[in-house]
């Protein structure tokens, strides 16, 4: 038995293993595997959409007035007369080749429809996300720092009240009100369509205000928690100026817990985008999928759901990468966000 | 029978939220009776705007929108509660099922739930509607299912955290049946977070269901809920906004009520908010008659630490530290030793105010606005918990050299070089590598030695070490204490060492200060402490109760019965009197002051005067 | 010679890739207290959990009174955990917790009031404590309740896992005294785990030292403290601050 030294001569085993191989490599490998798993789930899930329709899918799709010939035609067209496994392989094969089928409504290839509309949706969603982060983080932090230790109670209460109220307003309601106020009453921005750059303003606002408020509350809470931590006291002991103290020592830590919780909100933004598109007649995926549901245009539904799912997953991956950059401990954690 | 610790459950937030919910429920029940007929009544007054007769105007068929909004409460509420129930029941069941299954199922299940959660729930709901066709039942199922993963994940996390708690494993060991375990031990302790999620889910469901109806996919004509009314009203928005704004306001207010309930419950579960404090004051100078000692390096005179409500956690503590001296501050929890040290370091937590007649290190006056750079560089601090005292997201090197770079203007390269040198001197292995690592990659002892190295980098006159080895193994502790001692003998840095461990104090220090219940009760040279020559009954009792490697083991350790008083209940007399074998009436009424007992010693105990009297009277 | 109450034979415990306990063998005769000493990472808590059945060994045997440890034998070994703030259900009164220990199926305080009162007395707590919630007690008092609960089932073996590590010195003394007197009155067989050698010295008659999952020394208390044989034991003993100065040149200050 080797001569014992102080028990802590070597760093703990986990740290040794991590130091040996860059944690980013294993993290990215795991997430890649996760991405593939999600893709498989999405393909299977969207495939099942048609299969799970109660009753006879062909009849439901054709509508109540359809002739039996039409129903049979639809059945063959959808491949519903084939065995289940064949249907699946056809579908999955198509997805992998980039062929998502053809729309019932207008005969266009679904891929083209999505290709035309995706940029509009992505535009809204991405601008909204950036806006949410840029506004809610400084806002929440400022309130937390200003109100720490029970200071300025009125500000704290006011903040909670305003964010609660504004956060309770659904996007479609806010969109409606914004249209009324700025497009109809004060004709500042267009009420519908994506014609100009100015047309972006109202929809983005409608999508963002709720999440800004919710995120600001989370940021405020997490900042308050970070301010109580021992390492903040150590940093205070170095008598740094306030800006440096909070920006360098509080911000990275609070972003970790904020993004962990807020990641959900950010991917929920996609859902909000979908609904707001209807209010503003925005030519994105949202209007496409809602119209498709009403007209039972299943290939479009399947295609859009698939693409939106991929988008949401990529968004989560992005959040986790940012998290990993901020706090390397999260890299060794579970594959999904905490 | 007393209840578990009462917290402030009934905050205005919660009350307001519950009142709102109650109003909604009442409305849902009675509205169809009151307004039912009016809601369906077709009139000639189509598309009217808001007026005295029709508060929300009328719709395309001349029906009163206000009445319709009131009546729609029922369907909206029923569907929202339904979706919440589906989400809660389904999610909790799923979460519980995953958790009680084997570890592999658990792992898989949790990954699956993570994937499901990250999928936007609105879109998921749209998919369900796409499969089952539009309608209120479908939308309830859709939204309910979409919110299941959140409940499942919370349940799994809660179950895991509770199951790991000691009282649960102990109950299992006792042979408590799983059902009773669930009922008595697990559920009562996870109810609160679940309730919070239920109220959040209600708010979310309300908004989402209204959204689906707004899209035309929820309530189908002739039934209508708020979302449907909003969608109808939207069509006439340009000319007549009232029929849209009315239902919109209803949705927002109902969502607000639900949100307030959730906030109120969440706040009750985490009672963290400190009490309101007054204006932040500088350290108030207090007049005291203690003689100043200019040759001391550190002088603390009449230091008290007050809570916002006026209770003094540390009362009138005075001591000095000579240059190059190691002074120990010993006491048990609640004695105020850490607060005293932190008050000297000007690092008290929020809500605590220091006041002192004198507070200085060298010529640096710490009452008032002390010079920032000098405070940072002349006082070095070593904190108790090495796992929490370094910022986990920043690399070690930057943290170690920060004070040096910011306050002494040393360039990064040079600062790093000096830090590495210090780390080497503290016998930290691979110092260059450590600088680039994150704190969690080092062991506890190494972190603590890095902390000491960091404190020494700026060449401080005084190091304040607050329980620096309490969290460490005994062999590691020995190394860290040697590091501290090397700092003292090598650089002549004075040290204020705080510890509850009498053995550590007597091995390291030149002089010892003993604190009890916020007061300084004895000062003595370490030789006296080692010999057991303490004069204060508390110090003697503490020494007697401490097990050692060489003392007798045949007798039980003489324990001190009772507990120290809570800060708010400290008596005006001697705080130790209730537990003291020598206590007399005088002790309960009159507070003892520190009296000299010999060279370098002093104790605050009336018994000293009695023995002096007896000694005097027998002469 | 009678069978030892606890016999651990060549126990190996592996967590993932970590070999936490290696070939650990230790015996505990009836009525004796064995101290298990080690630093963090030594595996002492894992050993306790293995004996109690909370952790499954990779190989080796654990015999309780001659028989392998089985789920049915759960109540014959009781553990007192370290954290006095986590060991009691905050939503049950002390009386309810003790009544549940006495009778896990029908833990009603009324039915078992007398036994509960007895148990509280054994740990020097007043019978009125039965109606109070854990939050109303100090750390030391909660530990005593935890001890009473462990005794309630009249176990063959009690494992005390760092029971005084979270306590102040004066409170620790009370708890240690309770353990000593119980040991004398009830002839308790106890496995006492601690990192604090001075405490172990006051409570145990035999001491085993664990280093990185292996037992490096297992001997009587007198021998361990007076004539330690293994290097690690000597290192431990040298590291304990015992009031003597660390560094020679401070002796005359």
Mean pLDDT, range C188-197, rounded to an integer? 91
Return the residue in B69, B107, B116, B120 with the most chain A beta carbons within 10 A, the one to mutate for interface testing.
B120
3-state secondary structure B306-339: EECCCCEEEEEEEEEECCCCEEEEECCCCCCHHH
Query: What local confidence, expressed as pLDDT, does residue C252 receive?
Result: 36
Determine contact: C163 vs chain B, CB below 8 A.
Answer: no
Cβ–Cβ below 8 Å for A169 and B255: yes
Determine contact: A7 vs chain C, CB below 8 A.
Answer: yes
Cβ–Cβ below 8 Å for B478 and C239: yes
Determine contact: C240 vs chain A, CB below 8 A.
Answer: no
Buried b / exposed e along B246-272 (16+ C-beta atoms within 10 A): bbbbbbbebbbbbbbbbbbbbbbeeee
Determine contact: C110 vs chain B, CB below 8 A.
Answer: no
Among partner residues B478, B506, B542, which is closest to C243 by beta-carbon distance?
B506
Residues of A in Cβ contact (< 8 Å) with B383? 230, 233-234
Mean pLDDT, range C108-123, rounded to an integer? 85
Determine contact: B230 vs chain A, CB below 8 A.
Answer: yes
Which residue in A has a C-alpha nearest to residue C234's C-alpha?
A4
Burial of B546 (0-12, 13-18, 19+ CB in 10 A): buried
Residues of B in Cβ contact (< 8 Å) with A153? 276
Query: What local confidence, expressed as pLDDT, does residue A333 receive?
Result: 58
Query: What local confidence, expressed as pLDDT, does residue C253 receive?
Result: 35
Separation of alpha carbons C158 and C190, rounded Å = 5
Cβ–Cβ below 8 Å for B473 and C40: yes
Among partner residues C17, C18, C231, which is closest to A4 by beta-carbon distance?
C231
Per DSSP, the three-state class of B28 is helix
Largest CA distance in chain B: 117
Dihedrals φ, ψ of B38, to 5°?
-60, -35
Query: What local confidence, expressed as pLDDT, does residue A338 receive?
Result: 29
- Give yes or no for a contact between B367 and B282, defined as CB atoms under 8 angstroms apart: yes
Residues of C in Cβ contact (< 8 Å) with B473? 39-40, 195
- Give yes or no for a contact between B338 and B374, defined as CB atoms under 8 angstroms apart: no
Query: What local confidence, expressed as pLDDT, does residue C105 receive?
Result: 74
Determine contact: C151 vs chain B, CB below 8 A.
Answer: no
Determine contact: C54 vs chain B, CB below 8 A.
Answer: yes
Query: What local confidence, expressed as pLDDT, does residue B273 receive?
Result: 46
Which residue in B has a C-alpha nearest to residue A293's C-alpha?
B130
Query: What local confidence, expressed as pLDDT, does residue C166 receive?
Result: 79
Which residue in C has a C-alpha nearest to residue A14's C-alpha?
C18
DSSP structure class, residue B284? B
Model confidence at C250: pLDDT above 60 = no
Chains that touch C (3 or more CB pairs under 8 A): A, B
Query: What local confidence, expressed as pLDDT, does residue C246 receive?
Result: 66
The Cα of B588 is separated from the nearest Cα of chain C by a number of Å equal to: 22
Number of B/C CB contacts below 8 angstroms equals: 186
Return the residue in A149, A253, A279, A304 with the most chain B beta carbons within 10 A, the one to mutate for interface testing.
A149
- Give Cα B513 to chain centroid, integer Å: 30
Query: What local confidence, expressed as pLDDT, does residue C225 receive?
Result: 92
Chains that touch A (3 or more CB pairs under 8 A): B, C
Cβ–Cβ below 8 Å for C214 and A3: no
Determine contact: A36 vs chain B, CB below 8 A.
Answer: no
Which residue in A has a C-alpha nearest to residue C216's C-alpha?
A1
Number of A/B CB contacts below 8 angstroms equals: 243
Please name the residues between 555 and 614 in chain B that touch chain A, using a CB distance below 8 Å: none
Cβ–Cβ below 8 Å for C89 and B481: no
Per-residue pLDDT of chain A (338 residues; tens, 9 = 90+): 334 444 444 445 444 454 445 778 888 888 888 888 888 888 888 888 878 887 777 777 777 777 888 788 777 777 777 888 888 888 888 888 888 888 877 888 888 889 999 998 888 888 998 899 899 999 999 999 998 877 888 898 889 889 988 888 888 888 888 888 887 777 777 777 777 777 888 899 999 998 999 889 889 988 988 998 899 999 999 999 999 999 999 998 888 878 877 777 777 788 888 888 888 888 988 888 888 887 888 888 888 888 888 888 888 788 888 888 877 777 765 433 32
> How many contiguous H segments (helices) and E segments (strands) does chain C have?
8, 10
Residues of C in Cβ contact (< 8 Å) with B560? 170, 173
Residues of C in Cβ contact (< 8 Å) with B180? 104-105, 107
Determine contact: A290 vs chain B, CB below 8 A.
Answer: yes
Query: What local confidence, expressed as pLDDT, does residue B343 receive?
Result: 94
Which residue in A has a C-alpha nearest to residue C19's C-alpha?
A13
Residues 6 or more apart whose Cβ sits within 8 Å of residue B569: none
Separation of alpha carbons B449 and B428, rounded Å = 7
Determine contact: C211 vs chain A, CB below 8 A.
Answer: yes
Query: What local confidence, expressed as pLDDT, does residue C107 receive?
Result: 63
**Cα–Cα nearest to A284, from A165, A119, A99:** A119
Query: What local confidence, expressed as pLDDT, does residue C71 receive?
Result: 64
Residues of A in Cβ contact (< 8 Å) with B130? 49, 292-293, 298, 301
Q: Which residues of chain B have pLDDT under 70?
A: 1-8, 269-292, 612, 614-619
Determine contact: C88 vs chain B, CB below 8 A.
Answer: yes
Determine contact: C216 vs chain A, CB below 8 A.
Answer: yes
Tokens 């894992």 label which residue?
C46
Query: What local confidence, expressed as pLDDT, does residue A152 receive?
Result: 86
Token duo for residue B269: 């579960």
> Which stretch of DSSP H or E encloses residue B462?
strand B462-466
Total Cβ atoms within 10 A of residue A296 = 18
Task: Write the ipTM.
Answer: 0.87
Query: What local confidence, expressed as pLDDT, does residue B617 receive?
Result: 54
Determine contact: A299 vs chain B, CB below 8 A.
Answer: no
Among partner residues B177, B474, B542, which is closest to C169 by beta-carbon distance?
B542
Model confidence at C16: pLDDT above 70 = yes
Average pLDDT, chain C: 86
Cβ–Cβ below 8 Å for B2 and C131: yes
Return the residue in C81, C109, C243 with the most chain B beta carbons within 10 A, the one to mutate for interface testing.
C243
User: pLDDT band at C72, cuts 50/70/90?
Assistant: low
Query: What local confidence, expressed as pLDDT, does residue C77 receive?
Result: 86
Residues 6 or more apart whose Cβ sits within 8 Å of residue B413: none
* Angle, helices A23-51/B121-132, rounded to nearest 10 degrees: 20
Cβ–Cβ below 8 Å for A328 and B393: yes
The Cα of B521 is separated from the nearest Cα of chain C by a number of Å equal to: 17
Q: What sign does the dihedral B468-B469-B475-B478 (CA atoms) show?
A: positive
Separation of alpha carbons C55 and C48, rounded Å = 9
Q: What is the pLDDT of residues B10-43, one digit of tens each?
A: 888 888 889 999 999 998 899 888 888 888 888 7
Return the residue in B7, B166, B333, B576 with the most chain C beta carbons within 10 A, the one to mutate for interface testing.
B166
Which residue in A has a C-alpha nearest to residue C233's C-alpha?
A4
Query: What local confidence, expressed as pLDDT, does residue B268 receive?
Result: 72
Model confidence at C92: pLDDT above 80 = yes
Determine contact: B251 vs chain A, CB below 8 A.
Answer: yes
Query: What local confidence, expressed as pLDDT, does residue B513 receive?
Result: 96
Please work out, in degrees rounded to the nearest 5, the angle formed at the alpha carbon of residue B363 by the alpha carbons of B361 and B366: 55
State what percent of residues in chain C have pLDDT above 70: 93
The Cα of C232 is separated from the nearest Cα of chain A by a number of Å equal to: 6
Determine contact: C156 vs chain B, CB below 8 A.
Answer: no
């Amino acid at each position: 038995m080797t001569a014992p030294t102080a028990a802590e001569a070597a760093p703990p085993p986990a740290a040794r293993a991590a130091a040996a191989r860059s944690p980013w490599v294993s993290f990215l490998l795991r997430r890649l595997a996760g991405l593939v798993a999600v893709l498989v789930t999405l393909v299977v899930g969207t495939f099942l959409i048609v299969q799970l329709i109660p009753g006879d899918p062909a009849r439901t799709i054709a509508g109540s007035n359809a002739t039996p010939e039409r129903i049979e035609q639809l059945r063959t067209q959808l491949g519903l007369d084939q065995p289940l496994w064949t249907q699946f392989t056809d579908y999955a094969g198509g997805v992998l080749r980039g062929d998502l089928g053809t729309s019932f409504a207008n005969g266009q290839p679904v891929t083209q429809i999505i290709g035309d509309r995706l940029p509009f949706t992505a535009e809204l969603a991405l601008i909204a996300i950036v806006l949410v982060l840029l506004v809610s983080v400084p806002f929440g932090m400022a309130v937390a720092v200003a109100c720490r230790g029970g200071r300025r109670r009125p500000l704290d209460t006011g903040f909670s009240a305003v964010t609660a109220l504004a956060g309770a307003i659904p996007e479609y309601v806010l969109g409606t009100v914004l249209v009324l106020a700025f497009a109809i009453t004060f004709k500042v921005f267009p009420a519908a369509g994506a014609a100009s750059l100015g047309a972006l303003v109202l929809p983005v606002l409608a999508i963002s205000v709720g999440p800004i408020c919710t995120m600001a509350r989370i940021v405020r809470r997490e900042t308050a928690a970070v301010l109580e931590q021992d390492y903040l006291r150590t940093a205070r002991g170095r008598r740094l100026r306030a800006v440096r103290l909070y920006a360098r020592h509080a911000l990275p830590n609070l972003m970790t817990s904020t993004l962990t919780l807020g990641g959900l909100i950010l991917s929920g933004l996609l859902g909000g985008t979908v609904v707001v598109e209807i209010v503003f007649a925005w030519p994105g995926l949202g209007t496409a999928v809602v119209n498709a549901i009403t007209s039972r245009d299943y290939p479009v539904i399947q295609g859009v759901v698939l693409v939106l799912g991929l988008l949401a997953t990529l968004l989560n991956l992005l959040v986790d990468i940012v998290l990993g950059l901020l706090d390397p401990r999260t890299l060794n954690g579970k594959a999904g966000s905490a | 029978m007393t209840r578990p610790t009462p917290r402030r459950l009934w905050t205005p937030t919660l009350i307001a939220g519950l009142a709102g919910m109650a109003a909604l429920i009442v409305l849902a029940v009675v509205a169809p009776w009151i307004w039912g007929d009016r809601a369906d009544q077709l009139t000639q007054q189509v598309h009217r705007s808001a007026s005295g007769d029709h508060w929300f105007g009328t719709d395309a068929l001349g029906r009163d929108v206000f009445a319709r909004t009131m009546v729609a409460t029922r369907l909206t509420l029923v569907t929202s509660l339904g979706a919440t129930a589906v989400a809660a029941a389904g999610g909790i069941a799923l979460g519980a099922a995953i958790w009680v299954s084997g570890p592999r199922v658990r792992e898989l299940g949790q990954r699956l739930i993570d994937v499901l959660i990250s999928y936007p729930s609105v879109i998921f709901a749209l998919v369900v509607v796409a499969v089952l066709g539009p309608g209120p039942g479908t939308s309830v199922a859709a939204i309910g299912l979409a919110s299941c993963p959140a409940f499942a994940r919370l349940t799994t996390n809660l179950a895991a955290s509770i199951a790991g708690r000691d009282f649960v494993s102990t109950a299992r060991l006792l042979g408590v049946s799983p059902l009773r375990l669930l009922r008595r031990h697990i559920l009562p302790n996870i109810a609160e977070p679940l309730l919070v999620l239920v109220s959040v889910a209600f708010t979310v469901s309300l908004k989402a269901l209204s959204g689906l109806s707004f899209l035309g996919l929820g309530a189908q004509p002739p039934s209508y809920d708020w979302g449907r009314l909003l969608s109808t009203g939207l069509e006439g928005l340009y000319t007549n906004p009232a029929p849209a704004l009315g239902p919109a306001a209803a949705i927002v207010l109902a969502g607000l009520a639900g949100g307030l309930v959730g906030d109120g419950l969440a706040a009750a579960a985490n009672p963290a908010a400190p009490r309101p404090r007054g204006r932040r004051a500088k350290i108030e100078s207090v007049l005291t008659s203690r003689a100043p000692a200019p040759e001391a390096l550190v002088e603390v005179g009449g230091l008290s630490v007050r809570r916002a409500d006026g209770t003094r956690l540390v009362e009138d503590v005075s001591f000095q530290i000579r240059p190059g001296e190691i002074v120990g501050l010993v006491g048990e929890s609640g004695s105020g030793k850490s607060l005293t040290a932190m008050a000297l370091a000007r690092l008290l937590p929020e809500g605590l105010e220091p006041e002192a007649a004198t507070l200085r290190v060298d010529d640096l006056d710490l009452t008032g606005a002390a010079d920032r750079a000098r405070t940072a560089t002349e006082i070095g601090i070593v904190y108790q918990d090495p796992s929490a005292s370094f910022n986990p997201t920043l690399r070690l090197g930057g943290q170690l050299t920060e004070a040096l770079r910011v306050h002494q203007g040393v360039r990064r390269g040079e600062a790093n070089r000096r830090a590495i040198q210090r780390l080497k001197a503290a016998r930290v292995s691979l110092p260059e590598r450590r600088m680039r690592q994150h704190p969690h990659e080092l062991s506890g002892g190494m972190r603590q030695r890095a902390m000491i190295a960091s404190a020494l980098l700026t060449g401080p006159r005084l190091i304040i070490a607050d329980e620096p080895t309490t969290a460490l193994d005994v062999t590691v502790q020995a190394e860290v204490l040697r590091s501290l001692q090397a700092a003292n003998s090598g650089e002549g840095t004075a040290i204020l060492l705080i510890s509850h461990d009498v053995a550590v104090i007597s091995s390291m220090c030149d002089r010892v200060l003993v604190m009890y219940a916020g007061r300084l009760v004895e000062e003595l040279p370490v030789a006296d402490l080692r010999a057991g020559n303490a004069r204060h009954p508390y110090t003697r009792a503490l020494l007697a109760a401490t097990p050692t490697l060489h003392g007798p083991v045949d007798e039980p350790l003489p324990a001190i019965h009772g507990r120290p008083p809570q800060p708010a209940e400290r008596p005006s007399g001697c705080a130790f009197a209730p537990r003291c074998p020598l206590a007399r009436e005088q002790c309960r009424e009159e507070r003892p002051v520190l009296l000299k007992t010999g060279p370098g010693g002093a104790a605050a105990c009336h018994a000293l005067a009695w023995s002096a009297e007896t000694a005097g009277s027998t002469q | 010679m009678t069978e030892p109450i606890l016999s651990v034979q060549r126990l190996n415990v592996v967590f993932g890739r970590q070999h936490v306990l290696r070939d650990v063998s230790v015996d505990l005769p009836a009525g004796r207290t064995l101290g298990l000493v080690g630093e963090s990472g030594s595996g002492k808590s894992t050993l306790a959990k293995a004996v109690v059945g909370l952790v499954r060994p990779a190989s080796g045997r654990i015999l309780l009174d001659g028989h392998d440890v089985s789920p049915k034998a759960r109540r014959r070994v009781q553990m007192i955990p370290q954290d006095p703030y986590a060991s009691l259900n905050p939503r049950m009164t002390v009386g309810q917790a003790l009544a549940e220990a006495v009778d896990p199926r029908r833990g009603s305080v009324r039915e078992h009031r007398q036994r509960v009162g007895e148990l509280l007395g054994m740990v020097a707590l007043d019978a009125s404590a039965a109606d109070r919630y854990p939050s109303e007690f100090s750390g030391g008092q909660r530990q005593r309740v935890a001890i009473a609960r462990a005794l309630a089932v009249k176990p063959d073996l009690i494992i005390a896992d760092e029971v005084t590590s979270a306590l102040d010195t004066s409170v620790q003394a009370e708890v240690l005294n309770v353990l000593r007197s119980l040991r004398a009155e009830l002839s308790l067989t106890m496995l006492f785990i601690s990192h604090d050698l001075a405490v172990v010295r006051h409570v145990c008659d035999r001491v085993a030292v664990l280093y990185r999952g292996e037992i490096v020394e297992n001997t009587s208390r007198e021998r361990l403290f007076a004539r330690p044989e293994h290097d690690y034991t000597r290192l431990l003993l040298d590291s304990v601050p015992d009031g003597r100065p660390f560094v020679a040149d401070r002796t005359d200050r």
